[in-house]
């Protein structure tokens, strides 16, 4: 054990209590940081997130404080989320320590409709949460589309319509508290009941349509556009008459189109069947075309 590990262990003992040997279990699904379950005396006590992506930290140096603030905000308002235990950027690799929440990612639900309803209800609840003085604000993850589509996209006429709609700019909107990366891999379930929403590092204030579109795009890629439409209908039922502007779907899709959608490795880790590049490309074009048709 090196000095850095010893310091981290002492820090964990300080916050978790010296009640036994501390061990770690890697948790699946993390792609931009290291996430481990912390066991104390064999008992699952906490989750430790280590921000190992240096490029991400260079862009957003406040990542640990950002997630800590989001977890604290979620706790104040009773959202289904881990509770913050401690945060530190004094280590060479900054960390956030949060409570362990039981549950598992479910990507092959036995009752898809009830599963979608659980997702929709959780997101509506997040958006109904007071913003208070939460300091982080939404910005698009997409850039202005180029004059010509990426070679794989192929449909030049559709691309021209995408550009025209995107260049109109975002519609007027009310600001809500957002998770900002809400999709099935960031939701835990126990016995068909949603137990927690995780990965709050991108939380911010902004238009609800951003969260809705992000989840819809993920659902469209994973299961096809029909599942994305079912989710939207259920979200609208639970959010009191929300009207979804297709601009948000187009803005979301652009981020995937530019880099070409690929099979996301956590999908495999949590049991979703392999989806080939051709099928992912087709689902992306169909999702985009449906949004354009609704926007025109």
* CATH class (in words) of the domain with range 3-99: alpha beta
Residue 38 confidence (pLDDT): 96
Terminus-to-terminus CA distance in the chain, angstroms?
61
* CATH class (in words) of the domain with range 112-295: alpha beta
Residue 183 CA to residue 107 CA, distance in Å, equals: 10
Q: Exposed, middle or buried: residue 209 (CB in 10 Å: 0-12, 13-18, 19+)?
A: buried
- What the block records as the tokens of 16 is 């978790």
Q: Residue 283 half-sphere exposure, CB side, CA atoms within 13 Å? A: 24
Residue 25 confidence (pLDDT): 92
Sequence ranges of the domains in the chain: 3-99, 112-295
Q: What is the mean pLDDT of each run of 10 residues along the chain (296 residues)?
A: 75 86 89 92 92 93 97 98 96 96 96 97 98 96 92 94 94 96 98 96 98 98 97 96 95 92 95 96 96 93
Residue 17 confidence (pLDDT): 83
pTM metric for this prediction: 0.95
Q: b/e map of 81-107 (b: 16 or more CB within 10 Å)?
A: bbebbbbebeeebbbbbbbbbebebbb
Residue 2 confidence (pLDDT): 55
Residue tagged 């010893």 (tokens)? 6
């Amino acid at each position: 054990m090196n000095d850095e590990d010893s310091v981290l262990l002492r820090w964990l003992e300080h916050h978790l209590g010296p009640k036994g040997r501390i061990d770690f279990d890697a948790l699946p699904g993390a792609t931009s940081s290291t996430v481990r379950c912390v066991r104390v005396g064999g008992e699952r006590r906490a989750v430790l997130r280590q921000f190992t992506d240096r490029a991400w930290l260079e862009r957003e140096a406040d990542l640990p404080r950002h997630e800590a603030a989001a977890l604290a905000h979620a706790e104040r308002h009773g959202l289904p989320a881990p509770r913050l235990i401690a945060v530190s950027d004094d280590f060479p690799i900054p960390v956030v320590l949060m409570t362990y929440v039981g549950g598992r990612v479910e990507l092959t639900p036995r009752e898809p409709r009830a599963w979608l309803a659980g997702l929709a209800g959780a997101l509506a609840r997040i958006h109904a949460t007071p913003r208070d003085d939460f300091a982080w604000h939404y910005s698009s993850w997409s850039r202005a589309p180029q004059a010509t589509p990426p070679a794989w996209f192929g449909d030049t006429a559709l691309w021209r319509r995408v550009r025209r709609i995107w260049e109109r700019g975002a519609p007027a909107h009310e600001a809500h508290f957002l998770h900002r990366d809400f999709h099935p891999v960031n939701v835990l379930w126990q016995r068909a009941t949603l137990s927690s929403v995780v990965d709050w590092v991108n939380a911010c204030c902004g238009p609800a349509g951003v969260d809705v579109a992000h989840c819809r795009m993920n659902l469209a890629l994973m299961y096809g556009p029909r599942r994305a439409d079912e989710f939207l209908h259920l979200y609208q039922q639970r959010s009191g008459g929300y009207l979804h502007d297709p601009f948000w779907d187009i803005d979301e899709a652009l981020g995937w189109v530019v880099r070409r959608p690929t099979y996301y490795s956590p999908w495999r880790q949590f049991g979703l069947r392999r989806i080939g590049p051709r099928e992912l490309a087709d689902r992306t074009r169909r999702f985009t075309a449906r949004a354009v048709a609704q926007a025109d």
